[in-house]
């Protein structure tokens, strides 16, 4: 007899608890979409290929085999859904660089009927996806949707009880795919506003497994997203904030800070991820060359390649059972090695992107104006981000420059005094009482005097006397 196992005294580690929080929510599939991700260090870009399989146009043949009535019986409903998806797709394209992949639409439809990102390729600057997620507003669409779902849940409970059979047989892999798909459709339609609040929640949508408890599932998923947001805000502060315990962490690199963060939380120092290495004749959007080959060698290979097989080619083809004519273009065109990562959850995507940014020494900094983190670009050192906040027309860099200028003026008598005389003498130039060359020479000297006054080298009174004496008022000649 097999022994029974008693886990009543077992206490999971903090890492086990965190891993469970990231990957498991009772009654929810977090890993329905199988996406893959590539990183381009030269371009500082992330490429995300969103899975197209879960969409309806791939499921049609399975539905027909099962004997379901296809949606074509109600073309108006299908068209309404297509129109809604197209509208949402255009909204997302205004925020992100999104392109339908070559595979999208192979099932007969040009647009998906549920998740508009299905079968799309997305290109992002380094860090944009992570920042987009942690600052996304999930609360507003969540509260709006919850108020609707209480009525939905009452209907779903009736529908499941009265309209659905007690037992649905699962006899094949296709049956299981349809079972999950039949749950994905109402999940997407009932919670799409919250899912489209960020790129990653749209690209890695969940599946609520209990049709009768959509409100509970949505609440649990919202809490899951909020937990991830808080965690990565904390990580960014710990690893990058220059004002966060500078005497303790100031000399550590961000990667060293992250190692300490994980040690404090009793997490292991390693990460596990699924890497895919692909040999291909396509560059796939990158600038990399085949390993060991320069751009010059690449061009030479193409220029010297021939489609006419030699005796050696014929002998080689015969030995390996190949068609010699097909062999020639194959060996003539170089092969690229592409490394990508299979990712299935929002948590997995955040972890992958963040660790890749550490690996490639990408820096974040907290904006001194809005308090949000932003990516440092090259050697350009700034304390303000280039994000345009809601309700503003200019970004934080432009607004901060204006505010700093006003602050300098407020406590510096030399600046308004200079501006007063500048306007006075500029007016004389316009009416030709002063020559342009005289004004330019005065302006250069006046700026030097202004700075001397600002630095306390001369007094405000001395500066004003100099300004007044520069071009004294001319006495009008008496009329004869």
Please report, for residues 131, 259, 293, 299, the alpha-carbon distance to residue 243 in angstroms, rounded to integers and kept in the order given.
20, 19, 45, 50
* Range with lowest mean pLDDT among 144-148, 358-362, 460-464: 144-148
Q: What average pLDDT does the segment 103-121 reach?
A: 71
* 3-state SS assignment for residue 49: strand
Burial-class residue 272 by CB neighbours within 10 Å (0-12, 13-18, 19+): exposed
**pTM as predicted:** 0.77
Highest mean predicted confidence (pLDDT) among 241-255, 325-339, 422-436: 241-255
Report DSSP state, residue 231: H
Q: Which two tokens stand for residue 27?
A: 């009654």
Please report, for residues 40, 258, 356, 471, the alpha-carbon distance to residue 130 in angstroms, rounded to integers and kept in the order given.
16, 16, 12, 59
> In this predicted structure, what is the pLDDT of residue 9?
74
pLDDT surpassing 80 at residue 15: no
- For the chain, the domains span 14-239, 295-333, 411-470
User: 132-188 pLDDT, tens per residue?
Assistant: 999 999 999 999 888 777 655 554 544 444 445 556 666 677 777 888 888 898 898
Higher-pLDDT residue of 1, 365: 365
Highest mean predicted confidence (pLDDT) among 212-216, 315-319, 426-430: 315-319
pLDDT surpassing 70 at residue 242: yes
In this prediction, residue 321 has a pLDDT band, given cuts at 50, 70 and 90, of very high
> In this predicted structure, what is the pLDDT of residue 141?
94
Q: What average pLDDT does the segment 35-57 reach?
A: 87
pLDDT surpassing 60 at residue 262: yes
Cα–Cα dist 78/57, whole Å:
11
* Range with lowest mean pLDDT among 18-27, 47-56, 408-417, 451-460: 408-417
* Range with lowest mean pLDDT among 216-230, 287-301, 437-451: 287-301
């Amino acid at each position: 007899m097999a022994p029974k196992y008693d886990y009543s005294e077992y206490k999971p580690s903090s890492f086990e608890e965190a891993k469970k929080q990231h990957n498991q929510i009772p009654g929810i599939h977090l890993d329905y979409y199988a996406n893959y991700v590539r990183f381009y260090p030269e371009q500082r870009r992330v490429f995300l290929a969103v899975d197209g399989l879960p969409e309806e146009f791939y499921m049609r043949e399975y539905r027909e085999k099962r004997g379901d009535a296809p949606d074509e019986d109600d073309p108006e409903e299908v068209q309404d859904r297509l129109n809604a998806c197209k509208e949402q797709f255009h909204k997302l394209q205004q925020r992100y660089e999104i392109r339908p992949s070559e595979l999208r639409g192979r099932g007969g439809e040009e647009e998906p009927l549920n998740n508009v990102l299905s079968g799309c390729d997305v290109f992002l600057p380094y860090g944009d996806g992570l920042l987009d997620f942690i600052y996304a507003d999930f609360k507003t669409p969540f509260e709006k949707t919850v108020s609707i779902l209480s009525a939905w849940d009452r209907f779903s409970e009736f529908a499941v009880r009265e309209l659905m059979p007690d037992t649905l047989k699962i006899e094949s892999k296709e049956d299981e795919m349809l079972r999950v798909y039949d749950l994905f459709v109402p999940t997407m339609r009932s919670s799409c506003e919250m899912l489209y609040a960020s790129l990653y929640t749209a690209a890695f949508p969940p599946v609520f497994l209990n049709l009768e408890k959509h409100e509970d599932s949505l609440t649990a998923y919202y809490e899951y997203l909020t937990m991830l947001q808080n965690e990565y805000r904390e990580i960014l502060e710990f690893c990058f904030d220059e004002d966060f315990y500078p005497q303790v962490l100031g000399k550590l690199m961000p990667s060293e800070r992250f190692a300490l963060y994980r040690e404090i939380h009793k997490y292991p120092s390693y990460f596990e991820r699924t890497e895919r290495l692909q040999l291909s004749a396509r560059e796939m959007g990158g600038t990399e060359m085949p390993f060991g080959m320069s751009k010059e060698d690449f061009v030479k290979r193409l220029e010297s390649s021939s489609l006419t097989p030699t005796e050696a080619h014929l002998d080689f083809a015969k030995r390996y059972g190949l068609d010699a004519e097909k062999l020639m273009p194959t060996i003539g065109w170089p092969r690229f090695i592409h490394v990508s990562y299979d990712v299935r959850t929002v948590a997995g995507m955040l972890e992958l992107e963040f660790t890749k940014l550490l690996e490639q020494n990408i820096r974040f900094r907290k904006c001194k104006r809005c308090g949000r983190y932003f990516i440092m670009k090259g050697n350009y050192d700034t304390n303000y981000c280039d994000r345009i906040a809601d309700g503003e027309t200019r970004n934080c860099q432009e607004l901060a420059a204006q505010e700093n200028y006003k602050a300098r003026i407020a406590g510096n008598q030399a600046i308004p005094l200079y501006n007063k005389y500048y306007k006075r003498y500029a007016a004389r130039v316009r009416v030709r009482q002063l020559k342009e060359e005289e004004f330019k020479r005065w302006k250069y000297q006046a700026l030097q005097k202004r700075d001397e006054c600002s630095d306390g080298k001369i007094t405000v009174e001395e500066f004003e006397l100099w300004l007044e004496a520069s071009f004294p008022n001319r006495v009008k000649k008496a009329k004869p």
